[in-house]
Amino acid sequence: MLRLPAVADLKPAYLISGDDDAKIDAWRARVRKRAEEERGPGGLEVFDAASSEPGEVAVALAALTFDPGTRYVLVDGAGAWKAAQLGPLEAMLADMPPDTVLVAIVRGKPLKQLCAAIDKAGGEHREYAAPKPWELPKWTAERGRDLGLQVDKEAAKELVALVGQSQQRLSRELEKLALAIHPRTNVSQSDVEATAASDTSPQAYDLADALVAGDLRATLALAEQLESHGERPGRLVWPVVRRLREVHRAAALLDSGMPDAKVSEALRAPPWLAKKTVARAKKADRAALERAICVFADLEVEMRGGGSEARLDEDTAFSLALARAAA
């Protein structure tokens, strides 16, 4: 769980960086909350690096203040600064006023000079990398703990499958779940099925269905639409593989002679999704389905760095897999 250190343990400066926006936003929110608890509304001094140079922040840090409590100064977008601009801030960090804390936020990779200045001042660099596609269920459970929830493994997987790969949307759904199940804190798969709504449009599941149908044009169009909604190709692999396997399982059960209703029950999916899966399985070309599963299972391994195409960028590897699977 993300927590600020106790006041007595605070360091003079923190550099918060990475591409895990949810965790960075959570850190930022905790800084604001702490500042307002200690110094009242408006207690957090905020600078935007796009319009404020390091020298301006250094002058603000040096200013005397007689307000009680620790003074918190936060800089958003510190990745916009250039190394040549950092001199005044480096000098200030070397002699920080007491009871003052600087928090610099960088969405991405920070400058080496800024990292070094923070470290030399006795500060701390916390880096939050966005999870890989196969790590999202674990990330979801950890984010749930930040919200006071205990999200079990199956519930986390289901939430990722239903909502999509956007961390911001996953966070919103977790917040919605927290309200829906209050005062309980344990989140089960049934809670997710009853509460979480997919807001990825179109669904990664629809992309998998287009693959099964062998419709390359529809497959590529859906992939473009998903990317336009903020879904990176690498993050689509896991839900596509999951969907393909669900359809394959339904097809196998249908081929064994099991009635539709029994197949739907065996899938243990939300009713609307089970019905859709059975309908898709009835129409699926078995050879095309198995080919798509093999292609995307291989891609999943490759994107973990274990395959021959691991050196390809995500966009290229994903596009090639789509073409092979729908051919």
Q: Quick one: CATH architecture of 204-326? A: Up-down Bundle (1.20)
pLDDT for res 2: 55
Tell me the pLDDT of the chain (327 aa) as tens digits: 456 777 667 899 999 999 888 788 888 888 988 888 888 877 789 999 989 999 999 999 998 777 777 889 999 999 999 999 999 999 999 999 888 999 999 988 999 999 999 999 999 999 998 888 888 999 999 989 988 899 999 999 989 888 877 787 888 888 888 877 888 899 999 888 887 754 443 467 778 888 877 777 888 788 777 777 666 666 677 778 878 888 988 999 999 999 999 998 888 766 767 888 898 899 888 888 888 888 887 777 776 654 444 445 667 777 788 877 766
pLDDT for res 169: 80
Place of tokens 């923190």: 14
Alpha helices in the chain (DSSP H): 21-39, 54-62, 87-93, 112-120, 136-146, 153-163, 167-181, 189-195, 204-212, 216-228, 233-255, 260-267, 271-283, 286-303, 314-326
pTM of the model: 0.54
In the CATH hierarchy, which top-level class contains the domain 7-128? alpha beta
pLDDT for res 54: 95
Which among 140, 165, 160, 155 is positioned nearest to 191, based on CA atoms? Answer: 155
Domain with CATH 3.40.50.300 in the chain: 7-128
Q: Are strands 124-128 and 13-18 parallel, antiparallel or unpaired?
A: parallel
pLDDT for res 90: 95
Element (H, E) at 105: strand 100-107
Backbone angles phi, psi at 308, to 5 degrees: -70, -20
pLDDT for res 272: 65
11: left (phi > 0), else alpha (psi -120 to 50), else beta?
Answer: beta
pLDDT for res 229: 64
State the Cα–Cα distance between residues 156 and 66, nearest whole angstrom.
Answer: 47
pLDDT for res 200: 45
Domain with CATH 1.20.272.10 in the chain: 204-326
Domain with CATH 1.10.8.60 in the chain: 133-195
pLDDT for res 132: 83
Domain 133-195 CATH (choose: 3.40.50.300, 3.40.1280.10, 3.30.565.10, 1.10.8.60) = 1.10.8.60
Place of tokens 């106790």: 6
